[in-house]
Chain A
Amino acid sequence: MGTILIKNGSLVRDGVRVADILIKDDYISRIGRIDRGADETVDAEGKYVFYGFCDMHTHLREPGFTHKETVKTGAAAAAKGGFTDIFCMPNTNPVCDSEVVAEFINRRAEQAGYVRVHPVGAITKGLKGAELSAMAGLKTAGVLAVSDDGCPVSDGAVMRRGMEYADGLGLLVLSHSEDKSLSAGGVVNEGANSVAAGLPGISRAAEEAGIARDLILAETLGIRIHICHVSTRGGVELVRYFKRKGVAVTAETCPHYFALNDACILDYNTAAKVNPPIRTEDDRKAVIEGIADGAIDVIATDHAPHSAGEKAADFVGAPFGISGLETAFSLSYTILVQSGIIDIVKLGDLLSAAPRRITGLGGRLREGERADITVIDPDLSWRIDAQRLVSMGKNTPFDGVKAHGMVTETIVSGRRLVREGRLVRPC
């Protein structure tokens, strides 16, 4: 494979320092001042160099819904967004509740040759919330985490058994926490804007009651849990409170929860229809506070691609979901770092170090590690253009928004998938 020299980059680790990185084949061979030549050189002067971003929450739609996205197109979109590792949720058809499906996804990802894809197994068979999925078998296919994302386990006893069984295998539980009886029928956040638009609301109580139950289970059982896509002030406060109590809880949010408030649904733009729904300005601020004070550990995308035809429907009929892989870094950089809320080191933690630590993937910028690297040019700005996304899902509420900071290199196991901002076909 040869050598790649990343020259003069600002390496983002515990702090920021300028150094060169020499990649040999698929690993980081040296970090420091490197004067020798290499087969390829990346000029990283003025750019930030991170260990590869890791998205704990994507939907790749294959098998079953390949008109929305395939493993290949999703993995390509991830590379474009700076992610070297992504976790894909099990709500495919068939559901990823057995090693057969997990192995199929693994094979598809290998064939695609873009980023590393980690299938998330289901907690229950068919996401039906009744019987446990074959988690030990899933683990043999390399599965690291389980979730019934989108179809949360409503029966508390089944959730408890699922957590226990998973924990016995060392599998992490990712909880989409939602009391479906409280959210049923809703399509947007319940509040002044749902009243104005006349759209059925989803109460914050649905999310917060779900989070509370799962945190109490985690505390009672002494089992760690990861709370997905926190969107409300109460959700952030619950996570913060249980962390203070010493419960092993981690949490993620998504860029749309700190970039937007629910006024964005007043024109019935179905690109902004997502579950949990985009909340009020107060919730948006609370999510940002949670990011800043550590209540929230991770920024995930909840990348949920849909076809144009599916989203070109009435607001109730259109599916939930935002295509997020390619905009996550720039939105986070623009909203959180440029405004001074967090520094670049913290952003590296949210997008790379924390998800790697929580999922057990590991990896950081040091000699001997696998060469998974993301390079960012903070001085480039761009206008998000839905039609130019690599993902098949063009469903973004950020179409036309100007964002700052751009992924210029994504290197996976020493392979340059994004070169100077352009996605290249993997070899």
Chain B
Amino acid sequence: MKHLLGIEALTAADITGLLDRAEDAKQRLLNRKKSDALRGKSVVTLFYENSTRTKLSFELAARYTGADVSSLAVSTSSVNKGESLIDTGRTLDALLADIIVIRHAVSGTPLFLSGQIAASVINAGDGMHEHPTQALLDFFTMRERFGGLSGLSVAILGDVAHSRVARSNILGLVKLGASVTVAGPKTLVPKEIERLGCKVVYAAADAVKDADVIMGLRLQLERQRSALIPDAGEYNRFFGITPALLAHNTRNAVILHPGPVNRDVELDFSLVESAPSLIHGQVLNGVAVRMAVLETVAAAKREEA
């Protein structure tokens, strides 16, 4: 695996392999033990969109695995002077970056970049396409709780149309034998999403009824201005994860959310810290998963060399 561009290209065995490696990484993290798997490697994070969790956890994961990590602050870089993605990528190549971790607002940019440069490319979220490491950490978190993913029932609620997290999760969960139901207002659930292998319902209560896992998605509040939702209040009432919604659930489902949370919009304030919420655990798992991804990509690069 020279690049990690999306979950789509991975097999179930690839995913399981990464999760096993992440388990090991998590033990090391908890014991405060660094590895030197990436000693001498240069990892650069190139984030064209804002991020707290993903960017920081990639940088920590790089350090915990012994890499030298640099982060290009896009807003103060030559990107602001109009430098194109391809020129920025080639500059990083010229500076001997081994692994570039990229987040970009446009789908397909990691694939595009991977075809233009020598470094490995890891997709940290591209447009509405994929966010593979987020999905991997979600799988990891579910596996920790349930022991495995086969047969698990997962409900994904909210702005599925604009969500790369939803896409990567659907693609991976289907490969791993889980069943996925998505729900949201019809304006935010694209018509052909079933082709990815999930079920679609338009009432949140129907989606959560038999779910083991309920996953919220961040709603961009600007959606109201493009006539996709009436307002945040109505959204919270009918599509938000609330105690009233959880009352429809028959299986003591756990709650996941990729963050950052709009409290009281897609997720009730009281539920973020509640017993079924695994949201804070997801963050640390994110570092473990990204360690596993960096190690796997670096190993593939070494074989190639």
State the Cβ distance, A194 to closest chain B Cβ, in Å: 8
- Encode contact with B along A171-200: 1 for CB under 8 Å, 0 otherwise: 000000000000000000001101111111
B12 at the interface (CB under 8 A from A): no
Residue pair A198, B84 in contact (C-beta under 8 Å): no
A267 within 8 A of B: yes
Indicate which residue in B86, B127, B167, B190 contacts A312 across the interface (CB closer than 8 Å).
B86
- Would B195 and A198 count as touching, CB distance under 8 A? no
Given known contacts A309-B84, A313-B85, A199 and B108 CB-to-CB distance under 8 angstroms: yes
* Chain B CB within 8 A of A358 CB: no
The stretch from A292-300, A314-322, A398-406 touching chain B is A314-322
Min Cβ gap B86→A in Å is: 6
The reply to whether B164 and A198 contact each other, CB–CB distance below 8 Å, is: yes
CA distance A197 to B192 in the complex (A): 12
CA distance A268 to B128 in the complex (A): 13
Contact A198/B111 with A312-B86, A314-B106 known, Cβ cut-off 8 Å: no
Contact pattern, B 113-154, Cβ under 8 Å of A = 1, otherwise 0: 000000000000011111000000000000000000000000
Report the interface size for chain B: residues with CB under 8 A from the other chain.
Answer: 24
Question: A370 → chain B, closest Cβ, in Å?
Answer: 47
Contacts of A314 in B (CB 8 A): 85, 104, 106, 108-109, 112
Query: In the complex, what's the smallest C-beta–C-beta distance from A191 to chain B, in angstroms?
Result: 6
B236 within 8 A of A: no
Contacts of B111 in A (CB 8 A): 267-268
Chain A contact residues: helix, strand, loop or mixed = loop
Contact A199 B128 (CB under 8 A): yes
Number of A-B pairs whose CB atoms are under 8 Å?
Answer: 59
B35: min CB distance to chain A, Å: 34
What chain B residues lie within 8 Å of A192 (beta carbons)?
Answer: 192, 195
Closest Cβ neighbor of B164 among chain A residues: A198
Residue in chain B with minimal CB distance to A310:
B84
Task: Give the Cβ gap from A159 to chain B, nearest Cβ, in Å.
Answer: 25
Does B193 interact with chain A (Cβ within 8 Å)?
yes
Q: Which of B107, B127, B190 lies at the interface centre, i.e. has the most chain A CB atoms within 10 A of its CB? A: B107
Whether B221 sits at the interface, judged by CB under 8 Å, is no
* B127 engages A198 (CB within 8 Å): yes
Q: A317 is contacted by which of B106, B164, B190, B196 (Cβ under 8 Å)?
A: B106
Within 8 A of A (CB), among B146-182: 164, 167
Q: A309: which B residues are within 8 A, CB to CB?
A: 84
A195 touches B107 (CB 8 A): no
Interface residues on A, range: 10 to 19
B84 A313 Cβ-Cβ under 8 A = yes
A197 touches B107 (CB 8 A): yes
Per the bound structure, the CA–CA distance linking A154 and B269 in Å amounts to 45
Q: Give the interface centre of A196, A267, A313 by most chain B CB atoms within 10 Å.
A: A196
Task: Tell me the smallest distance from the CB of A206 to a CB of chain B, in Å.
Answer: 15
A198-B127, A199-B127, A200-B128 known; A268 vs B108 contact (CB < 8 Å): yes
What's the nearest-Cβ distance from chain A to residue B67, in Å?
27
Chain B residue nearest to A192 (CB atoms) is B192
CA distance A314 to B126 in the complex (A): 11
**A268 to B: closest C-beta gap in Å:** 3
The 8 A CB mask of A279-313 against B (1 = contact, 0 = none) is: 00000000000000000000000000000010011
Partner of B107, one of A191, A268, A312, A313: A268
Contact assessment for B84 and A316 in the assembled complex, using a CB-CB cutoff below 8 Å: no
Interface string of A334-366 (1 = CB under 8 A from B): 000000000000000000000000000000000
Report how far A314 CA is from B129 CA in the complex, Å: 13
Chain B residues with Cβ below 8 Å from A197 are 107-108, 129
Q: Which of B84, B108, B193, B196 contacts A315 (CB 8 A)?
A: B108
Q: Is the CB of A195 within 8 A of B108?
A: no
Residues of A within 8 A of B130 (CB): 198
**Which of B86, B106, B130 has the most chain A CB within a 10 Å cutoff?**
B106
Task: Give A195-227 as 1s and 0s: 1 = Cβ < 8 Å from B's Cβ atoms.
Answer: 111111100000000000000000000000000
Nearest neighbor of B112 in chain A, beta-carbon distance? A268
The minimal Cβ–Cβ distance linking B185 to chain A, given in whole angstroms, is 17
B168 shortest CB reach to chain A, Å: 10
State the CA gap A312–B86 with chains docked (Å).
8
Q: Is the CB of B192 within 8 A of A198?
A: no
Q: Are B112 and A195 in contact (CB under 8 A)?
A: no
Beta-carbon contact of A195 and B195 below 8 Å: yes
Cβ-neighbour of A196 out of B104, B106, B195 (below 8 A)? B195
Task: From known contacts A312-B84, A313-B84, infer whether A196 and B112 are also in contact, taking CB-CB under 8 Å.
Answer: no
**A317→B85 CA distance, assembly (Å):** 10
Chain A residues lying within 8 Å of B164, measured Cβ to Cβ, are 198
Q: How far is the CA of A194 from the CA of B127 in the complex (A)?
A: 12
Identity of the chain A residue whose Cβ is nearest the Cβ of B104 in the assembled complex? A314
**B129 contacts across to A, CB distance below 8 A:** 197-199
Q: How far is the CB of B135 from chain A (nearest CB, A)?
A: 13
User: What are 26 residue pairs bridging A and B, where the CB atoms are less than 8 Å apart in the complex?
Assistant: A191-B191, A194-B190, A195-B192, A195-B196, A196-B196, A197-B107, A197-B108, A197-B129, A198-B107, A198-B108, A198-B127, A199-B107, A199-B127, A199-B128, A200-B128, A267-B111, A268-B107, A268-B111, A268-B112, A313-B85, A314-B104, A314-B106, A315-B112, A316-B105, A316-B106, A316-B127
Q: 11 additional contacts, CB 8 Å, given A195-B193, A198-B126, A313-B86?
A: A192-B192, A194-B190, A195-B191, A195-B192, A195-B195, A197-B108, A198-B107, A199-B127, A199-B129, A312-B84, A314-B109
Give A contacts to B, CB under 8 Å. Answer: 191-192, 194-201, 267-268, 309, 312-317
